[in-house]
Chain A
Amino acid sequence: MRETQERKNPFVSLSGLPVARLYTKDDLKDWDPEHQLGVPGEFPYTRGIYPTMYRGRLWTMRQFAGFGTASDTNARFKYLLSQGQTGLSVAFDMPTLMGLDSDDPRARGEVGYCGVAVSSLEDMERLFDDIPLDQVTTSMTINGPAAILFAMYLAVAERRGIPSDQLDGTLQNDILKEYIAQKEWLFPPEPHLRLITDTIAYCSEHVPTWHPISISGYHIREAGSTAVQELAFTLYDGLTYVDAAVNVGLQVDAFAPQLSFFFNSHNDFFEEIAKFRAARRLWAREMEKRYHPQNPQSLRLRCHAQTAGCSLTAQQPMNNIVRTTLQALAAILGGTQSLHTNSMDETLSLPTQNAVTLALRTQQIIAHESEVANTVDPLAGSYFIEQLTNQMEEGAREYFQKLDAMGGMLNAIEEGFPQREILEASQRYQREVDKRERIIVGVNDYTEEKYHSIPLLRISEESENTQLERLTSLRTRRDCAKVTEVLQAVQQAATTRRNLMPYLIDAVKARATLGEICVALKEVFGTYQESAVL
C-alpha cells in the first residue's frame, strides 16, 4: 500500500496541466521523430534553429540595465561589457516608456527610477558615449514610443559616421502585449500597428541586420498567464504583425527573418523547456501554412529569454539566486538565443552592481562549468518532454482557433478575451498559493520572522535634477522655429500613409523631444482607453 501512496493528488504543472506518475512509449504512440523533431537547424526547428547551437556560439548574455541619467547608465553598460557581457539591453524609465519628457508633471517622482531617462537625442548620445555601436548589439525595451527612440539611436550612429547597415540590435516594439498585459500604450491599436509596420519596412530597407520587433510573451506571463497562454498569445501576436506587414505590401521574406521573440522562463523546469521547443515548431508550421515563405530563415523562431521576475520574493531574497539559476537552465535547455538573468534584489528595487554581477556569473557558470551546452537539445526523445511539447503546441492551437473565430487579436483585445484568460489564471494561482496547495519557500512555508536586509540601489534625487537641468538647457539652446517645423512635418506625414521613420529622424536631429513628438502624434492618432477587465 505504502509503495503506491503519493504526496499529492493530482500532480499538476505550474500551468495547471496534469502530470502523470510515469511517461512511457505509450504516451508517444503516434509520435514520429522525423516529423516532430527533425534535425537542429531544419524544419520544424523543434531541436533548435542552428545545426550546432551552443557548440558554435554560446547564447548572448544580455543583462537589462538602466537607471538614473543617461550618464549613470552609460557607466553601468561599460562595467557590464568589461565583465564579459556580450550585448547591451536598455531599460528606459516609466516616463520615457509612456512617451513623456522628464520635465512633464506626470513624470514627477519617476524620472530615472525604473530605468534610464531619455528625452532627447542628447540623452541618447550620452547613453552610448564611448560605446562602439558597430561592435555591440543593443536591445531596447521600448514599445509605445519605440519608433522615436529608434530614430534617436539611428541619428547617434549617423553623427558618428557609422552606416546604418552595420547596426545590430533589437527594438521591443510590441504593442499588442501592452494592450494584453503590460498596459503601456500611447495611441489606439491601429496607429500603433502602423508605426510598427513603418519600423519593419524601414529596417528591411536601411538597417537589414536589425530586429525591428521582439514579440514578447514575457510580460503576458508576468501578468499571471499560464505557459500555454504565453505561447499562444505571443505567437498569435506575431502572426498579427506578419499580417499587418504583408498588408502594407511587404514581402514576407523581406522582413520575417528579422522577427524575434521574447519569452519568460518560469519555475516549472520541464514545462518551460517544452514551451521553448513547442514555440519553434508551432511558429515554423504556422508561417509555412499561412505565408509560404521561400526563405527558410522566415520560419525560424529566434528568441531572447528572461527569468521570471514575478517568481522572485521579497522574503528571504537570497533564495532568488537559486530560482533564477533553475529558470536560466530551463531557458538554455530550451535553446534560447540570448538570456537575461534577474538579480536577487529585484522585488525590492533596481539591482545593485553586485547583484547584477552575480546574475551574470550565474549564466557564466551554466555556460562553462555545467557542461550542458556541449550537445544540442539534450532532452529530445524524453517521453515526458516530448509529450509536454506536444501538449504545449496543442494548447496553443486551441487558442489560435478561438482567436481566429473572434476575427483576430485586435477584436479579441477589444472584447477583453486574452486579458480575462490571464486574470483567471493569475487568480487560480494566487488561490493555490493562499491555500498552500503550492509551496513558495519563504512565503507560505519555511518562513522566518527575521527580515533579511540586503543592500539596495538608491536613485538619488540629484539624478532627476541633473536630467531636468539638461532638458531645460536643451530647450533654450535649440532652434525653436526649426523644432516647430519638424513637428509639423511629422504631423503632416502622420495623416498620410508615408513611412514616418525619416520624419522622426529629422525631428530628433532638430532636438525635438520625445514628449513633443508624442504630443504631436497624439493630435493626429488620438489616445486609447482600455476596457478594463475585472
Chain B
Amino acid sequence: MENMEVLKNRITYGDVRAVSKLITMLEAQDPFGNAVVKSLDSLPSQASIIGITGYPGAGKSTLIDQLTTCYRAEGKKVGILAVDTSSPRTGGAILGDRIRMQSHWSDEHVYIRSMATRGHHGGLAKATGDAIQVLEAAGYDVILVETVGVGQEEGQIIDLAQTVVVVVAPGLGDDIQAMKAGLLEIAHLVVVNKADRSDADATVHALRNWVSHVIPTIALNGEGIHAVIDAIDAHQRKIVEQHTYRS
C-alpha cells in the first residue's frame, strides 16, 4: 500500500505530525496503524528506553524534565511517553504530566505524548510498547516512559524498558516493606527525590539495604541529576555487554 510507505517515510524522517497520528491509530487499535508499526519493526534502532516509575507526587515528571535537559545537552533527541490512568467509570482522563516538562516546549527535538491507560493494567497503556517503536523509528535517541505510578502492578515497564528508575520521596517508612515485593523488585536504580528534606538521609539508608544504586536528588534545582544520568549510562553499558536485551 503506497499510503503506508508514505507514512512510514514520514515517520523515519521524524515528522512530528505523522508520529502523533500513528500513535493515535495505535491507541485506537486501527488495523492500518498496526500494519505500519509492523513494517517499522525491521528498522534498526540504538535508542535507550528508560522507564520512570514510583508513587504519585514523588517527582517523576520533574525528574524526566531534568533528565531531558541533560540528554539534550548531549545532543540526543528525546521522546517522552507519559501514562496516566483513565477513569474506570467514564473512560475519561486528565493528562497533566507535561505541565512539569514545559521548559522543552520550543525544542523540536523533544517529543512529549500523554497516554491514558484506557482500561489497561500494569502501569502503562496498551499501545505504549508500539508507541516506543514509533519513536525509535522516528530517530529518538532516548525514550523516557513515565508509568501511571500507583505503586503496585507497575511491573509491565520492565518488559519494555532497558533501565527502570524508581522515584521515591523521603519519609517512606514502612512503605519500603510494601515496595520490596513490587517497585523495588524491578528497579535498576532508585532515586530519592526532594533530598533537601530532613528525612531524606534515613530513606536513602533504608533503601540501600535493598537496592544497590540509590541516588538522592533535588529535582527542582537539578541537584544529583548527573549522578542519575551516569548510573543510567552505566546500566545501559552493562546491558550492551551482556547482550541480555533484544539485540
Contact = CB atoms under 8 A, between A and B. Distances in A.
Direct contact of A and B (CB under 8 A): yes
Interface of A: 188, 415, 526, 529-532, 534
B102 interface: yes
A526 B220 CA distance: 10
Nearest to A526: B221
B63 to A, nearest CB: 13
A526 B103 CA distance: 13
Nearest to B97: A532
Interface string B39-81: 0000000000000000001000010000000000000000000
Contacts of B62: 529
B102 A532 contact: no
Nearest to B65: A529
Interface string B206-245: 0000000000000011000000000000000000000000
Contact of A532 (B57, B96, B220, B221): B96
Contacts of B1: none
Contacts of A531: 57, 100
Interface of B: 57, 62, 94, 96, 99-100, 102, 220-221
A529 B102 contact: yes
A534 B100 contact: no
A226 to B, nearest CB: 23
A532 B84 CA distance: 15
Contacts of B94: 534
B221 A529 contact: no
A529 B100 contact: yes
Interface of A: prevailing SS: loop
B169 to A, nearest CB: 11
The 6 closest A-B pairs by CB, nearest first: A534-B94, A532-B99, A532-B96, A534-B96, A529-B100, A529-B102
Contacts of B57: 415, 531
B87 to A, nearest CB: 12
A216 B209 CA distance: 48
14 contacts: A188-B220, A415-B57, A526-B221, A529-B62, A529-B99, A529-B100, A529-B102, A530-B99, A531-B57, A531-B100, A532-B96, A532-B99, A534-B94, A534-B96
Contacts of B96: 532, 534
A368 B220 CA distance: 56
A188 B196 CA distance: 15
A457 to B, nearest CB: 34
B99 to A, nearest CB: 5
Contacts of B100: 529, 531
Given A531-B57, A534-B94, A534-B96, 4 more contacts: A188-B220, A415-B57, A529-B62, A529-B102
Nearest to A530: B99
Nearest to B103: A529
Contacts of A526: 221
A534 B57 CA distance: 13
B224 to A, nearest CB: 16
A415 B220 CA distance: 14
Contacts of A532: 96, 99
Contacts of A529: 62, 99-100, 102
A534 B220 CA distance: 21
A526 B94 CA distance: 28
A416 to B, nearest CB: 9
Nearest to A415: B57
Nearest to B59: A531
A529 B220 CA distance: 9
A78 B187 CA distance: 68
A529 B65 CA distance: 12
A417 to B, nearest CB: 12
Contacts of A188: 220
A529 B222 CA distance: 14
B100 to A, nearest CB: 6
A531 B100 CA distance: 8
Contacts of B102: 529
Nearest to B101: A529
Contacts of B221: 526
A531 B61 CA distance: 10
A516 B102 CA distance: 23
Contacts of B99: 529-530, 532
A529 B96 CA distance: 13
A310 to B, nearest CB: 23
A190 B94 CA distance: 30
A420 B48 CA distance: 37
B225 to A, nearest CB: 15
A526 B218 CA distance: 14
A5 B132 CA distance: 65
A162 to B, nearest CB: 43
Contacts of A534: 94, 96
Nearest to A416: B57
B84 to A, nearest CB: 11
A534 B99 CA distance: 12
A249 B95 CA distance: 45
A386 B81 CA distance: 56
A529 B99 CA distance: 8
A415 B169 CA distance: 12
Nearest to B221: A526
B62 to A, nearest CB: 8
B203 to A, nearest CB: 17
Nearest to B102: A529
B103 to A, nearest CB: 8
A530 B220 CA distance: 11
A418 to B, nearest CB: 16
B56 to A, nearest CB: 11
A534 B98 CA distance: 14
A529 B62 CA distance: 10
A532 B102 CA distance: 13
A236 to B, nearest CB: 21
B119 to A, nearest CB: 21
A145 B220 CA distance: 22
A412 B62 CA distance: 19
A529 B101 CA distance: 9
B106 to A, nearest CB: 12
Contacts of A530: 99
A526 B221 CA distance: 9
B126 to A, nearest CB: 24
B171 to A, nearest CB: 11
A317 to B, nearest CB: 33
B54 to A, nearest CB: 15
A474 B57 CA distance: 47
Nearest to B61: A531
A526 B62 CA distance: 15
A415 B59 CA distance: 12
A532 B57 CA distance: 11
A500 B102 CA distance: 30
A534 B100 CA distance: 14
Nearest to B194: A414
B92 to A, nearest CB: 12
